[in-house]
Structure 1
Amino acid sequence: MGTDYTITVSKGDSAGLIGVFEGRVPAGDGPPVHIHHNEDEVIHVIEGDYEFWLDGKTERAGPGRSVFLPRGVPHTFRVVGDRPGRNLAILTPGGFEEFFIKAAEQDLTIPEDMAAVVELAGLYGLEFVGPADWA
């Protein structure tokens, strides 16, 4: 879906408590605005400059910074500038990381396969709610 994901801790590794994956995100890219209904999420920026949108507010985050994204709250991010970004996402409880495995198995892309992505996302308590109102 434009980003390379590497799962580093799966729900099976943690008795379901946590899921951790690394994302390598192209410059200018990021997911549509979405809501995790089942998990809280922390994104830790390793490389690049990110802009986060959380429930209508934006904030910048660079390397070494972490942002908490609570379940039930619309959010997204994008990599700003001309360099790709790299981040570590930590979700609790675990299990959402399987969404990326299934999306890769089906070779889904956004926006071309958005209907199928939305259907798959629903199985993981993920709801897409639209584009960000970037400041």
Structure 2
Amino acid sequence: MHPTQDEHIYVLEGVFTLYLDGRWETAGPGDTVRMPRNIPHAYYNRSEGPTRGLFWVSPAGRLAELFDKLHDLEDPAEVVRVSALYDVDFLPPGSVDGA
């Protein structure tokens, strides 16, 4: 979840499976998905083929700085901890059925 940002995806290729506002949906090429701040969301490529999308958040805040910090991290717990410092909150495992 992003408490201070809306996240968006413009799908370029393939199909994304998305969890948004308590429901699972799919988005394909040409679709734009808005994931409002403070709403739990997730996205996956559950197909056999590649997916590509253009992702952005608004306002940008410190997201670029977060990506720099996450670049070489391998420990998922550390990714969650560092992300929280930059206004990106992960839900505990098992919080979303099917995630």
Asked whether the two chains share a fold, i.e. TM above 0.5, the reply is: yes
**Could you say which residue in structure 2 is the equivalent of 1:108?**
73
| C-alpha distance in 1 between matches for 2:46 and 2:81 | 29
Matched, 1:68 2:68: no
RMSD: 1.6
How many residue pairs were aligned? Answer: 96
Give me the identity figure in percent. 40
**Could you say which residue in structure 2 is the equivalent of 1:124?**
86
- Please show how residues 1-135 of structure 1 align to structure 2 within 5 Å: 35-94=1-60, 95-104=62-71, 107-109=72-74, 113-129=75-91, 130-131=93-94, 132-134=96-98
SS for the counterpart of 1:45 is strand
Query: Which letter does structure 2 place at the counterpart of 1:133?
Result: D
Q: Which runs of 5+ in 2 are unaligned?
A: none
| C-alpha distance in 1 between matches for 2:66 and 2:51 | 21
For residue 62 of structure 1, report the CA deviation from its aligned partner: 0.6
| C-alpha distance in 2 between matches for 1:81 and 1:41 | 22
| Bigger fraction of residues in strand | 1
| C-alpha distance in 1 between matches for 2:10 and 2:56 | 8
